Every structure is written in C-alpha cells, then in structure tokens.
Amino acid sequence: MRIGIVCPYSWDVPGGVQFHVRDLSEVLSARGHEVSVLAPADDDTPLPAYVVPAGRAVPVPYNGSVARVNFGPLSAARVRRWLREGGFDVLHIHEPATPSLSLLACWAATGPIVATFHTANLRSRAMLAAYPILEPALEKIGARIAVSEDARRTLVEHVGGDAVLIPNGVFVDRFAAAEPQPAWRGSGGTVGFIGRLDEPRKGLPTLVAAMTGVVAARPGVQLLVAGRGDADEALQDAPAEVRDAVTFLGAVSESDKTRLLATVDVYVAPNLGGESFGIILVEAMAAGAPVLASDLEAFKRVLDGGRVGTMFATGNVAALTDSLCALLDDEPRRAAHRAAAADWVRRYDWETVVNDLLAVYETVAAGAGAVGEDEPRRGSLRDRLRRDPSPRS
C-alpha cells in the first residue's frame, strides 16, 4: 500500500505528534508498505529517506504551547505537488483542524483520507470560530481517529461526528530492554522528569517546588531532568539544596531517554493541563519506572484510574511532595506498580496499534482510487521533488 502521511509540526522540533508520525512510518515500512511523510522542514535539514520537506516552519502559540507550522500559498503548492507525485492509496492527515500542511492537504486531496486528532481542548474558541472554514475540508475525511477519549470529546464538541479511539504507540520491548545508568542514580533515590523546561503546562516548577520537602526527607535524592530549555532559569527560585539535587541532561537521544526511564525509582509527570494522552507515561511504565502523575483526565485513563500508577492533585505542591516521599519509601508499592504496568502497556505496543490503523486504512481505501490527480512517477518521491524543487500548482 502507498501511504502518504502529513505531519503538521516541524520535523526537527521534538513533540508527541512528530514522534508518533516517525514511529508509525517506520512500523509501516517494516510491514512492507511504501510511506512518504510531508512535514515542515528546511530543504537542507537531514531527514529520513521517507520525509519530504515542505519548507521552514514559523512558531505559533497554540494550546498552551508553541506549534511550529507552515501555511500559505507556497506551502499549498508544495502540498498539491506532493499529492500528485505520490499517487497514494490512502492519505493519513494528523491534526487536520490545525492551520498547517494538514489543513492544506485536506483542502487539496481527493480520494481516501484518514485523519488523526491529537489535541484535547474542550474550550477552544479558535476551533469554534474556524469551524465554518474547516467544515468543507473535514467532510472529505473518510475515517476519523482520536488518540484519546479527551481528543475524541474535543472533536465531537467542536467539529461534530465521532472518531474511533486508537492510542499513540510505543515500542514496548525497546523500553523494557533498556539498561539503567548507575552514574545517574542518587543515594536517596532517583526521580525523573522529561519535558520542555520553558513550557509551563509541563509542570516542572511544581516538581522543583516539591523537591524542597523531598530533599529534606531523603538526603541524597537525585532529580534527573531531560528536555530543551534554560536550566538556570528553571532553578532560579530554588534553594541551594534543591539545585544541588538536580541534574539537567538537556535534550536527550532516544537511547538516553530509555536509559533515564530505566534508572529512576519514580517518574513524575506534574503536568498542569492541555494533555490529550500522555505517551511519556506509557514509555516510563514500559521501561519499568513507577509513575507518579497529576490527576488529569488523560493521565487517569493511561494509568487505569490509578491502578498502575499513583496520582496526586494537579498543581498541588504539598500533595506532590507527600506522594513522592511516600512512593520513594515504599518499594513493595513500586514493585506492584511495575508488575501491573508491564501487562497494561501491551495495549499501546506498536504491533497492536498498527494493526488497528491498517484496518482503518483498508476500510477507507476499499474500492476508492488513489489520492491525488496525476499518475505516480518512478523513483523516490523526495528525490524527484529535490531534483525539481519548484512547486507546480
């Protein structure tokens, strides 16, 4: 099957949607399918062979974060050409309601279209206001997928219709096989956090504030922080004893991320909101890390209501301090979380997720023609576009 996938956000900036598209593309390719991904990226950016760059992205504030997208006439021309050249059996668009390549592709494409909705924002005034513009494009979608119940509810409330639930995927065995890094461990226990330091909704300030009580109760405790951002700014209000207990690893590779998760005694997700799923919780559980997370609805579902992890009141520093100290002190409870989570995360393994996605693809593509207008040409799609980079409308 020839599958075209549209990623709305800049390929070279880490994010859940980008990682999902990357992993999905690799799994589909391993199954023998021909995959092409269109994503915002400079033409000279090193990219996997299956990614076609659609030009530089610009930052736009969105849903408590900053989305890096591209939009406009040049982007629209590149989308149309990619569709014509691709001759796809099915087109899979991510976040089609976002003003980005995804919406442009939804406007331009003909043929079988599948769309995945990732965003959870039940009070999105922007989406409500934009619906009259979005409606003609969204009506072309043959199957809608939501990665979580919260994303599905956002879709239903703002756009109408419904969607099948297919979660984000994780390579469970890769995380389960990860080796811990002894040099990162603290004598009083090891706590982990992964997320952008300069994005308030990820909750790092809440965790740093809670560490004051944790350090006092457990001398030698170590907090490992991985992610992009200014480490000095993140700790500017923290007392010296907390600063001494924190190790910033910066933006880590996938292998170092798995090692971090395999090393920690507790992984903390102190997020304040805006989460539709919580893929990092699944990754932590797959690596054997007991999870302590804020009680967001999305996180409750990932943690089976608290059965496979511990939850605390969102944004409550005292509750986080007490819960983290209690969990660090209770090895039998952490072992119980690890055992329960090891079985639970299998539902998120890519081998399961991709089977569900392929069933949707096959249903939508059955009896339909290829996506686009022109007959596909021979050779690599990205190579053809780079040999003749001028977009043709």
CATH number at residue 374: 3.40.50.2000
Assign 130 a pLDDT band (cuts: 50, 70, 90).
Answer: low
Structural domain contains residue 283? yes
Same domain, residue pair 271 and 382: no
In the predicted structure, residue 75 carries a pLDDT above the cut 60: yes
pLDDT at 392: 36
pLDDT in tens, 195-234: 989 888 899 999 999 999 999 999 999 999 999 999 999 9
Looking at residue 376, its pLDDT comes to 37
- 198 and 324 belong to one structural domain: yes
> Tokens 């890519």 identify what position?
350
Mean pLDDT over the full length of the chain: 87
| Shared domain check, 258 and 361 | no
> Which tens digit of pLDDT belongs to each residue from 246-294?
999 999 999 999 999 999 999 999 999 888 888 999 999 999 999 999 9
Residues 240, 154 share a domain: no
The count of domains in the chain is 2
224, β-bridge pairs = 192, 247
386-390 average pLDDT score = 40
Q: Note whether 74 and 223 are same-domain residues.
A: no
pLDDT over threshold 50, residue 386 = no
pLDDT band with cut points at 50, 70 and 90 for residue 374: very low
Does residue 51 form part of some domain?
yes
In this structure, are 243 and 337 located in the same domain? yes
163 and 184 part of one domain: no
Tens-place pLDDT, residues 23-41: 999 999 999 999 999 999 8
R_g over Cα of the chain: 22
Does residue 384 register a pLDDT over 70? no
Are 293 and 154 within one domain? no
Same domain, 144 and 224: no
Q: Does the CA dihedral 129-133-137-139 come out positive or negative?
A: positive
pLDDT at 62: 57
Instruction: Indicate if 165 and 111 belong to the same structural domain.
Output: yes
Residues 21 and 7: their CA atoms lie apart, in Å, by: 7
For 75, the token pair is: 């982007």
Residue 318 is assigned to a structural domain of this protein = yes
Whether 64 and 176 share a structural domain: no
Joined tokens for residue 346:
């299998």
Same domain, 293 and 373: no
Of the three residues 315, 330, 346, the one that is the final residue of a domain is 346
Instruction: Provide the domain limits for residue 338.
Output: 172-346
Within a domain: residue 393? no
Confidence (pLDDT) at 60? 67
Residue 392 lies in a domain: no
Write the pLDDT tens digit of every residue in 54-72.
888 776 665 556 667 777 7
Q: Is residue 332 part of a domain?
A: yes
Could you tell me if residue 234 is inside a domain?
Answer: yes
